[in-house]
Chain A
Amino acid sequence: MAVQIDGALVQQVAKLAKLSLTDADLPAVARDLERVLALVGVLDEVDVTGVTPLVHPHELGLRPRADEVQPGFTQDQALANAPAREAGHFLTPRVIG
């Protein structure tokens, strides 16, 4: 599938991925992405009609665990690596600004 990568599409993808791109970055990233997509364009050659996508290499099934409580973290352990915390919570800037 040939895709025209423009700045708007790159910006939209960056937004989904939470990566900030400046307007100055956009043309270079768009070109870059376009080159990668040209590389993957080779897949167009393959006829995959009726082929089920392969996601898990060996397609073994899940084996659920027993519903038993296992020791977890203390509050200190949970927050040990947190850049900011307050009263036992992780802290972020206000969600609604």
Chain B
Amino acid sequence: MPDATHPYRRRAGAARRVLVVDDGTLIRIYYRKALERSGFGVDEAVNGIEAMEKLLSGHFDLVIVDINMPKMDGLSFLRALRAQPEIGSLPAIVTSTESAEHDRDAARAAGANFYLTKPVSEDSLVLHAAVLTGASA
């Protein structure tokens, strides 16, 4: 029970850090550029296992994770994340090329806080990241 740490309470003043989890290199580059241009700190992971390692070893405000990845896919990763006592409350955006409603439902069932359909425009990415991390408007 995370009563003392209040994981959903932001630490004031900390820079917003986003972990981008996607097996597509170009996508990661694109997300990184876009987010960095808007002042976010960005780290990357190519699959769920790497992502979990990074999340456990550093502070992040948001994770953006693709639904389809080798090794640990996005949804399995998300369920594992939500079950973590320390970092389970991290807001997560799930991305996928499918806009099908069942993907969206699957993401929600796995505990996603938002769902974006690829391709994600730079504006949309930055805006959603800003809203979900509480970056000042």
Q: Do A and B come from one complex?
A: no
Mark A residues whose CB is within 8 Å of B: none
Mark B residues whose CB is within 8 Å of A: none
